[in-house]
Amino acid sequence: MVMPLNDPSMLRSLAADSQSLDSLRAQAKQSPDKALKAAAQQFESVFLNMMLKSMREATPQDGMFDNEQTKMFTGMLDQQFAQNMATRGVGLADMMVKQLSRNSGALDMKGAAASERGSVITPASLATSSAAAIPSAYNADFQQAFMNRMLPHAQQASQPGGVPVHMMLGQAALESGWGKHEIRNADGTNSHNLFGIKAGSNWNGKVAAVTTTEYENGVARKQVQNFRAYPSYAAAFQDYAQLINNNPRYAEVLQQGGDHAGMAQAMQRAGYATDPNYANKLVQVMSKLDVKS
């Protein structure tokens, strides 16, 4: 049985603890991972309460003690039962957390790689449609650890042609959600493709086929695309540097020097991404990097 949304007891259940909702909102800003679990538990509680109410309504209620007052107190009791059961867990909340964590970005901060790549993996979040990463990727320590791991590869790849280190790290972080959502091969192994570079007809290496979001005339569309797969992060950085250095399309990017905004806008104009907001996202990421070219 489906409970109508205008059912009084249902509304009381949803509005029973406004302070808890305010606390959840605050927690979502400070610790998104914990907030996700708390929200899943609240959903589980509401679901269980609906189930109990449906069971009550399916039971004959024509006894001498059945009246509006007893129904009200029975509803309150069922609500408390539901909250207690959700606290202990019946498995629904855990399944939701697992699924949403897996899809989150599915959901995150994957920017795009178009032009030769022709596609864009856009950012998403559990909190808002414009958020930029998987929850744990918001953590400054996590971001610093990612930068420390990738910095030597960026520095080495930057030397031959002068592609700015902070731009390389910025795009690697943006495209992969600070390493939280890297492109995977069919067998689950890492493709090391931090930049979302597509496997065009001139690519002779391994390929990873994944579903991406592409913008066509401002409309986001899901498509399966082939991306380059590398044996290591070092190889990925080298290939990215060669792409920027050797393709005339990106000549304007290298002319911007250390201007973050200029480089990001030049990358978007060159067609690296189809995401209309790509330049702004790249600037925001590069602003978090404490490195020099």
Q: Are the C-beta atoms of 162 and 258 separated by less than 8 Å?
A: no
Tokens representing 33?
A: 């991972």
Check 187, 239, 259, 290 and give the catalytic one: 239
Active site residue 239: yes
Check 44, 175, 214, 275 and give the catalytic one: 214
Q: How far apart are CA 144 and CA 138, in angstroms?
A: 11
Q: How far apart are CA 245 and CA 175, in angstroms?
A: 19
Question: DSSP class of residue 63?
Answer: S
- Of 21, 34, 37, 42, nearest in space to 86 by CA: 42
Q: Are the C-beta atoms of 180 and 108 separated by less than 8 Å?
A: yes
Active site residue 214: yes
Beta pairing partners, 212: 223
Q: How far apart are CA 22 and CA 144, in angstroms?
A: 31
Q: How far apart are CA 82 and CA 9, in angstroms?
A: 13
Q: How far apart are CA 109 and CA 288, in angstroms?
A: 14
Catalytic residues: 214, 239
